[in-house]
Structure 1
Amino acid sequence: MTLIAALPFLPEAVIFDMDGLMIDSERVSIACWSQAAQELQLPFADDFWLGLVGLGDRDCEQLLLQHISADQVAALYARCHDLYEARTQQGLPLRPGIMELLQLLQAHGIPRAVATSTRQPRANRKLAAAGLLPYFDHVVTSDQVAHPKPAPDIYLLAAHKLGKDPARCLALEDSPAGTRAALAAGMTAIQVPDLVHPDEALRALGHRIVDSLHDAHALLLPLLSR
C-alpha cells in the first residue's frame, strides 16, 4: 500500500457501500446492462455502462434518456432486472478482505450500517445471500431518501439511524459518486476503487484512497488496538 495518512480518530461508526465495495457485483451489473441493450438492439458503447456505477436509479434513467426513449428505457430496465436477478440467485462473490474487516469491527463493538444505491428489498436479499446482513445494524437504501448519491442524504440518514454524528463516522466507498456523497455528509472517507478510478478532481478532495479492504483494515487496526 502506498503510504496513506493515519485516520484522525477512532470512528464511532463505520458505514459501508455495498456493490463494488463489499460484493463483487458491479461487473455482473455491467454485463447485464450490456446484454440487455444488445438484445434490444440499443446503441450503446461498452464503456457507457461504467458511467452508471454508483448512481441511483433516477440518475441512471436520466443518463439513458439522453440516448433512448422512455419506452426503451423501461424495456431495458425490465430485461436488465431479469438478467441480474438470475445472476444474483446464483450467488455473487465477496470483495477481498470484507469479512475480516466486518469481524474486526464487530469484535470491538463498532456500529455498522450499509448505505447503498440499491433499493429495498433487493439490497437485503443480496446482503443475506452473501452472508453479510447479520453484521449490520441498519441498511439504508436509495428509496429511503429524497436525493441519491452523490448527494449526502443517504449517509446522513445512516448516521442518524446509528445515532452518531456524521463527523465521527467513517465511510467506505468504491465509486466516485458514493465517495462524494460521504464527503458531502461530513464523514471521513476511505475509497477502495473497483471499476471506476478517481480522476484528478476527485483526488483533490483529499480523502484516503487505498488498493483494497485489507488496506482499510490496516488503517483501523492501530486505533482499535489502543
Structure 2
Amino acid sequence: MTAGLELAVRPQAVIFDMDGLMLDSERALLGCLAQAGAEAGHDLPQAFLLSLIGSSDALTRQRIAGQIGADAVDGLLRASYARYDVLVAAGVPHRPGIVELLELLAAHGVPRAVATSTRRPLALRKLESAGLLGYFEHVATSSDVAHPKPAPDIYLLAARSLGVDPRHCLALEDSPTGVRAALAAGMTVVQVPDLLEPDAGVRALGHAIAGSLHDVRGLLQPLLSA
C-alpha cells in the first residue's frame, strides 16, 4: 500500500517513532493487556485495545479506567507490565526493514532521533535490548515534554536536539496520533501503518503512506545517492 509516496528533497534529519514503527511492541503490549484482563475477568475487546495505540501513559490509564473502573486499573497495569517487562528484557522484535533503513541513513550521515510517547526509562530499555539505541543521536520521550502526542512537543524537541529546522525533517510514524503530532510540528511525514489502517480522516491529512519500511528505504535511496 502506498499513497502519495514521494519526497521532493533529501531530508536533513529523520525522526522515528518507536512502538509499532521500529519495534513490534504494540502487538506485544496489547497482548499482555488482553491476557492480564482475561485472567482478572475484565472485558477488553480488540477494538478497545486498538484504540489505545499511540496514546500517552496517562491517557491509556484514563481509557482503561473508563472500561473496567478506576479501582481495577492499577492491578491490571501491574499484571500486564510484568508480562511486558519479560518481553522487553528479551528484546522486542523489530519491524521489518528497520535495520536496513537505519544503516542506509547512517552510511549517508543523515542525523537520526527518536520521538516516542513511551516514558524515558522504558524507551531506553526497549531500544537498548532491541539493539537499536546506538543508531540515534537523541531520544525524545513523553518524560521530556509538557504535552504528549498528538501535540507536536516531542517532535519539536527531537528536531531541536539535532539542530535541524522541523521543516527539513522527515518523520516516520505508524499511528494516526503520531502522524498528527509530526504534521503539527511542520515536518514531512511518511506513515507506515502497523495494527491500525488509516481511515478516510487520516488519509485526508495529506501525508504519504507506505506499505513498509523497505518502501521508505527505496524512497530515500535515490535522494541520498544523488
Which band: TM-score by shorter chain?
over 0.9
Q: Give, in whole Å, the separation in 2 of the partners of 1:116 and 1:146.
A: 13
In structure 1, the residue matched to 2:42 is 42
- Please list every run of 5 or more consecutive structure 2 residues that lacks an aligned counterpart in the other structure: none
Structure-to-structure mapping, 1:183-222, within 5 angstroms: 183-222=183-222
TM (normalized to structure 2)? 0.96
TM (normalized to structure 1)? 0.96
Aligned length: 226
Is this contact kept in 2: 1:24–1:93, CA < 8 A? yes
Is this contact kept in 2: 1:37–1:76, CA < 8 A? yes
Report the CA distance between 1:3 and its aligned residue.
6.5
- Please list every run of 5 or more consecutive structure 1 residues that lacks an aligned counterpart in the other structure: none
Is this contact kept in 1: 2:88–2:125, CA < 8 A? no
User: Residue deviations 1:199-225, cap 9 Å, x none?
Assistant: 101100110001000111111111111
Over the aligned positions, Cα root-mean-square deviation in angstroms equals 1.3
Closer, same or farther: CA 11–38 of 1 in aligned 2, 3 Å: same
* Counterpart code for 1:209: I
Larger mean Cα displacement after TM superposition, 60-69 or 104-113: 60-69
Q: Give, in whole Å, the separation in 1 of the partners of 2:73 and 2:163.
A: 39
Taking every aligned residue pair, what percent have the same amino acid on both sides?
A: 58
In structure 2, the residue matched to 1:169 is 169
Q: Secondary structure at the match of 2:190?
A: strand
In structure 2, the residue matched to 1:21 is 21
Larger mean Cα displacement after TM superposition, 205-214 or 44-53: 44-53
In structure 1, the residue matched to 2:125 is 125
In structure 2, the residue matched to 1:158 is 158
The answer on 1:82 being equivalent to 2:82 is yes
Is this contact kept in 2: 1:171–1:188, CA < 8 A? yes
Structure-to-structure mapping, 1:106-125, within 5 angstroms: 106-125=106-125
Moved over 6 A (4+): none
Larger mean Cα displacement after TM superposition, 209-218 or 32-41: 32-41
* Counterpart code for 2:118: T
Report the CA distance between 1:190 and its aligned residue.
0.4
Is this contact kept in 2: 1:176–1:197, CA < 8 A? no
